[in-house]
Structure 1
Amino acid sequence: MSLLLDSRVAQRPTTSHGRGFWTVAAAFLIAMAYSTVPAPLFPLYVAREGFSTFAITVVFAAFAVGVVISLVLAGHVSDWVGRKTVLIPALGLEVVSALLFLTSTSLPVLILARVINGLGVGMIAATATAYLYDLHTHHRPGASPRRFEIVSTAANIGGLGVGALVAGVLAQYVSSPLSTPYVVLAVLLVASMIAVALTPETVVKKQVPYRPQRISTDHGRGYLAAGAGAFSAFAVFGVFTSVSPGFVAGELHHPSRTLAGLVVFIVFGGAALAQTVTGGLSLAALRKLGLGAQAIGVLLVVAGMDATSFPLFLAGGAIAGVGAGVQFKAAIGAVASMAAPEKRGEALASLFFIAYLGLSLPSLSIGLATRFLDPTTVMTWFAGILLMLLAGVAALAAPKRS
């Protein structure tokens, strides 16, 4: 089959493709949910092992390091080796990570578990997104990509919120808060592996010389705008999954694990809900909404911390989450539509690479800065830098003047 045609298997639409679409979406959601399980548990690790805030951000950043490495080495290979060939082992890495969390609470083991978690997610993020696009187009040839865009981004972002909430509730009410959440998610991950194995493959396997992922901006300003938007969105997500539970328990004086998980859930839940209800908006409208909501939300977060107001902090997080979710949805839709079919996995891997840099670098910088400055001052600086980045996205996305 010529690469100029399509990398997908030439099959007629079947109900198995329709079931497979939802199977992969569920597996995607479960994998992303597992990746935020530690977020509301970090204060418990601090209490048990005496970790500093910076040590916790290192553990968190280790996840993003694993994601970036995986995206560079393997996030794009499903375009020629097959979607299932990548997705099933990647889910297996998540199970290995969960087992490591169950063996020890020492810092080296936590870092290793998070790196392996990241390695799996790096393979899953781009592969599952491309797989969903393939299954959607097989099941509904010629249909609008709206279903794909809503489901893929909701599974990705919504899963991050679900994992934190489930872990927070379990940690609050079970007798083994540092083990039960991992056991529950490990069982679901194993079930996902079995379900994906029964899903139709959508790629014709090809003999292609291996090369690491290239970060390409061949599409010009459109791709740069999408990449910068994804970076800014994940910078917001990173802050709320890494350091916000500590802020809530410390500066805002709310130590409840359920509440810590709820904060993360509201941020990601707002993102997923916004992605669902904005399906009819144009790319330009999505970007405007995303940029504005992120800017307003992060300013409210800083105001809430300055006034020691948890409701204001929570409202800011929800609005920032809405903006980040819409911004990321716009980025996914833009890249999926502009990429050639045989390079869709590669293009999405590049986008996720940029996004996960946004997830790690700002959070790690904030964790380091809190060793020398108070958290409110650090968040104020973060807000200022984020506003400048959002202005850059707006400039890149603006139509060229003739």
Structure 2
Amino acid sequence: MTTTSQLPTGVSPDTASRARHRRGFWIVVGAFTVLMAFTTLPTPLYPLYQQHDGFPTFVITLIFAAYGLGVMSGLYLAGHVSDYLGRRRVLLAATAVELVSAVLFVLLQDTGSLLTARFLCGLGIGAVTATATAHLAELHAVGRPDADGRFASVVAGAVNTGGLALGPLVSGLLTQFLPHPLTVPYAVWIALLALAFSALLLAPETVERPAVRPPYHPQRVSVEPDARPHFSAAAVAAAAAFSVLGVFTSLTASFVGGTLGLHSRLLTGSIVFGVIGASAVSQIALGSRDVSDRLRTGMAAMSVGLLLVAIGAWTTSLPVFTVAGALAGAGVGLVFNVAITTAATVSSPENRGETLAGMFLAAYAGITVPVVAAGVALTFFSAPAVLVVFAAIVLVAVMVSTTRLLARSAT
């Protein structure tokens, strides 16, 4: 630990601490991005796994669901422990789990191992999401005490979705032009995850470990009683928004390759990048606006996007499907941003990790359950028909949940 005597002349301990926390903020941003990108790395590769093992499209949704179940398990079991174990310690442990998952992807490529690797990937991310979001908020508060606290929430939301967007694009690029497509992307990410682990060792810890560790218990959502209506409205909206990301990331490869007959991993990765990337861009561009403005804009973008999803799927039009994904993704980003901001606002400082974990738990329930339902439907119906019905159901859920959240935000 740096002592006062080791500081440069004219630099106070407070100034040095703020500088360390500002550097730590960007270290966590970088590591968070690498971790989130790893979760969507397999998206363009699902048809290759399908050819390798000869399983039906339904199994692809099960593989994706294994990740979602892993995330929910991680949130339930460890999403809150950083409140007393420390943010950095939990991030380091979760990064180690992601490294194990990446090694499994490289060494084993059968269906059972793929399910295990995806579950482990989700398990680590379940611990990461709420922890990194809380860590960024605390690092920013110390590093820039006079700045607007909303900046950290905007960055956390953008990194969360921006990292998810990078995974399929980079995977598509690596596998379109290089050999060994089921190995190379994961080998690259093993190196990046190792670098992220090393960098996190330099990030300041923002939680002081208690003298007596509290007894362990699974995840609880700690929200002040008078704020619970706001939290529940935001949680439902987050679940509805994330269900859009779930279906695009799990079924785009099947729609593009199966229905449209376009077998380009770069194309698949680019479409998913556009969907999730639009989510990140909308948060960066509009994340500082009033909550009501973000909600109204997000609701409008998601509604138009979902209508175009139905049209693009029914007419098997790639341009319409691509534009629909970008619009829906932009709406997802704004609605999710409001949900995270709401969770951070209504939580007390000592329970911030638990509250954020509860919000992510709701979001990933939304990203998992509809995907499994869509996978079951694909066993009996065509991909365009499934996408049309999904778009209609989610459109209703989006309209109801965001309207309710808008009413709560107004009070």
TM-score category by the smaller chain?
Answer: over 0.9
Aligned equivalent of 2:218: 212
Report the Cα distance in structure 2 between the residues aligned to 1:376 and 1:65, rounded to whole angstroms. Answer: 26
Equivalents in 1 of 2:21, 2:254: separation in Å? 43
Cα distance, 1:216 vs structure 2: 5.2
How much does 1:285 deviate? 1.1
Distance 2:53 2:45 in 1: 12
AA partner of residue 380 (structure 1):
V
Is it true that 1:229 corresponds to 2:237 in the alignment?
Answer: yes
Aligned match of 1:165 in 165, 169, 174?
Answer: 169
Paired residues of 1:11 and 1:138 also in contact (CA < 8 A): no
2:242/2:332 contact within 8 Å kept:
yes
The 1-side partners of 2:45 and 2:121 are apart by 16
Alpha-carbon spacing, 1:385–1:135, altered in 2? closer, same or farther (3 Å):
same
Which residue of structure 1 lines up, in the alignment, with residue 343 of structure 2?
335
Q: Which residue of 2 aligns with 1:257?
A: 265
**Given that residues 369 and 378 in structure 1 are in contact (C-alpha distance below 8 angstroms), is that contact kept between their aligned partners in structure 2?**
yes
User: How far is the alpha carbon of 1:369 from its aligned partner?
Assistant: 0.4
Match of 2:115 in 1: 111
| Separation in 2, partners of 1:385, 1:33 | 28
CA distance in 2, matches of 1:364, 1:29: 26
Structure 1 position 378, deviation (Å): 1.2
Q: Where does residue 309 of structure 1 map in the other structure?
A: 317
CA distance in 2 between counterparts of 1:381 and 1:105 reads 33
Aligned equivalent of 1:300: 308
Q: In structure 2, which of residues 119, 130, 141 is the aligned counterpart of residue 137 of structure 1?
A: 141
The residue aligned with 2:251 is 243
Compare 203-212 and 128-137 and name the one that shifted more: 203-212
The one of 60, 64, 73 aligned to 1:60:
64
Give secondary structure in 2 for the equivalent of 1:204: coil
Residues 251 and 305 in structure 1, CA contact (< 8 A), matched pair in contact too: no
Query: How far has the Cα of 1:312 moved from its partner?
Result: 0.3
In 2, the alpha carbon distance for the partners of 1:185 and 1:356 equals 23
Structure 1 residues 142 and 341, CA gap change in structure 2 (3 angstroms): farther
Q: Where do residues 183-222 of structure 1 align in structure 2 (5 Å cutoff)?
A: 183-206=187-210, 207-215=213-221, 218=225, 219-222=227-230
Matched residues in 2 for 1:392 and 1:79: separation? 33
Match of 1:79 among 61, 76, 83: 83
Structure-2 separation of matches of 1:326 and 1:104:
38
| Partner in structure 1 of residue 334 of structure 2 | 326
Is the 1:252–1:305 Cα contact (8 Å) retained in structure 2? no
Structure 2 unaligned residues grouped into runs of 5+: 1-12
Distance 1:295 1:398 in 2: 15
- 1:291 Cα deviation from its structure 2 partner: 1.3
- Residues 128-180 of structure 1, C-alpha deviation per residue, up to 9 Å, x if partnerless? 01000000001011321232122111111000010110001111111111000
Q: What's the Cα RMSD here?
A: 1.5
Distance 2:155 2:402 in 1: 26
Contact 1:224–1:396 under 8 Å retained in 2: no
Please say which of residues 338-347 and 211-220 is displaced more in the overlay.
Answer: 211-220
Is residue 222–residue 351 contact of structure 2 (8 Å, CA) maintained in 1?
Answer: no
Q: What displacement does 1:251 show?
A: 1.2
Secondary structure of 1:14 counterpart:
helix
Q: TM-score, normalised to structure 1's length?
A: 0.95
CA contact (8 A) 2:133 2:153 kept: no
SS at match of 1:250: helix
Using structure 2 for the length normalisation, give the TM-score: 0.93
In structure 1, list runs of 5 or more residues that go unmatched. 1-9
For 2:338 and 2:406, the matched residues in 1 are separated by: 14
Amino acid at match of 1:160: L
How far does residue 279 in structure 1 lie from its aligned partner after superposition? 2.8
Distance in 2 of aligned mates of 1:183 and 1:63 = 20
Identity among equivalent pairs (%): 42
Which of these residues, 388, 393, 402, is aligned with residue 401 of structure 2? 393
Tell me the distance in 1 between the aligned counterparts of 2:377 and 2:256.
Answer: 18
1:205-262 per-position Cα deviation (integer Å, ceiling 9, x unaligned): 1221211112456422211121011101210110111111111111122210000100
Question: What is the aligned partner in structure 2 of residue 271 from structure 1?
Answer: 279
C-alpha separation between the residues in 2 aligned to 1:34 and 1:234?
Answer: 18
Partner of 1:56, secondary structure, is: helix
Whole-angstrom distance in 1 between the partners of 2:371 and 2:14: 44
Q: How many equivalent pairs are there?
A: 393
